[in-house]
Amino acid sequence: MISIRTIVSETGEVKNHNQKYPYRLNFYSIPPIEEITTEEFEVFALDRLQVLKAIESASLRSRTELQVADHIRDISNQYLPLHSTDGGKNYPLEQERRKDHISHFILRLAYCRTEELRKWFIKQECALFRIRFIEENKEERQAFLNNERLNWNDLSQNEKESMKNELSHANPHIKFNDETFFIVDFEQVLDLVSRRAVYIKAGKAYVPTSEQVTLVVGEFRKRLSAALNLASRAFPSIDDERILPLLNNINQQYLGKTYVYNNNTIVDKVTADNVDQMVGHFPLCMQHMHIKLRELHHLKHFARMQYGLFLKGIGLTVEEALIFWRKSFSSITDEKFQKEYAYNIRHSYGMEGKRQDYSPLNCNSIIMNKQPGPGDQHGCPFKHFSEDNLKVFLTQTGVKKDEHLKAILDIVKGKHYQVACTKYFEITKCLEDSISRGDDERHLMETIKHPNNYFEQSVKLSKINNSQNSK
């Protein structure tokens, strides 16, 4: 068992508190104090990370606030459900809120270590809090805020009337007579200031109730930032070897499905002769290696491993793999192929050596591990190609519009390579335009985390389209 009390004690954050959770919303001012299993510790952390990563991905893909909220609701229901008190009678509210509470503090520890990690965590947590705050009903929101005793000063009715022209001009969209206003330091609502959506006088901002979410999120951000700075100073004192590896490496953790070879794949049958017909369903990395294999009749070791395990994952048997690679390496003799390549192919299927059945590489492994050198074809094009080479390859493989090309390259410049791959999928599979129009608002795809997941999603989409066209 892992004592959450001990861990948060070491980061200087322990207070006495009631374990009950009266509200869905939470400023996470009071840490959890209980024991949880090692398994719970890891599962809670990774499930919350799924939600935060989904927020980042949807935002980077230029989705509207409504699209992001709908997508995050779907992801949250899968990994981190958190129902409102109103209408949540049929759900285990206490367990949901406990998991939300504990998982936040675990990730707070994991993301307190550097300025870059702290900024990322604050941004995603603020976005999640904002979505939850907007979705909560008015009575629950107000009860939560009253409990937090935020002590915002209300603008009196007389002051409101005397400033009617200024307030109405700054907030033309509001129903003035129905609004109340809060008076706060303008630094608390810089988002509203940047949008010129609030009246400012003598360093004070006059915030209408309709913009209350900005004020509340600002308070959430301020408290979380202070807590992360406190945790970062105390983090070195944590010495529990059961959790340190997770805390130190969670930002690079693979969160997707593990793919293994099986005969029940999404396609009927994969053979040496029909791989060429399936390339349109391959992610960019696999397309690149396949093209180079056909062009050079050879691939170096790491490319053979990366591409070979991918083909294994989509259903290519070891017998068909031997035929595929033998035909592809057409410039060498049978003797040379058997001597230098056949053993490694059988080895990757667990039929030689220590008989380990290797799984296809996920995106994190491809991006973070062996970097390609001169003459190498393995790796991730979004990470390892030059901008000019990536532009050319994207254009050759289906990205025709300049605005689409720019959108992908902008994501790549931010080093969000898996998000760029997801954007590429949406564009080349003709999802981007329908999403932009709002046709698929509630069906944004999850971020691509694995080449075999890309293949799987592409084949599924093709089957759906074919079924609809046949009607």
Residues within the annotated binding site for [4Fe-4S] cluster?
285, 363, 380, 421
Q: What is the rounded distance in angstroms from the CA atom of residue 463 to the CA atom of residue 267?
A: 10
Q: Which helix (H) or strand (E) holds 181?
A: strand 181-185
Q: At what angle do helices 451-469 and 301-314 cross, to 10 degrees?
A: 40
Structure tokens at 258: 């593990």
- Residue 411 CA neighbour count, 13 Å, CB half: 23
The identity of residue 149, as a single letter, is R
Helix, strand, coil shares, percent, the chain, to 5: 60, 5, 35
Neighbours of 153 (CB within 10 A): 10
Please say whether the beta carbons of 259 and 452 come within 8 A: yes
Structure tokens at 26: 């939470």
Structure tokens at 221: 């951000």
Annotated binding residues: 285, 363, 380, 421
Residue 353's Cβ-count burial label (10 Å; 0-12, 13-18, 19+) is: exposed
- The conformation of residue 271, written as its DSSP 8-state character, comes to -
Contacts of 204 by beta carbon, 8 Å cutoff, 6+ apart = 183, 184, 185, 186
- Which residues in 381-419 are b (16+ Cβ under 10 Å) and which e? bbbbbeeeebbebbeebebeeeebbebbbebbeeebbbb
Per the listing, tokens 């931010």 go with: 414
Please say whether the beta carbons of 19 and 34 come within 8 A: yes
Of 241, 384, 226, the C-alpha closest to 302 is 384
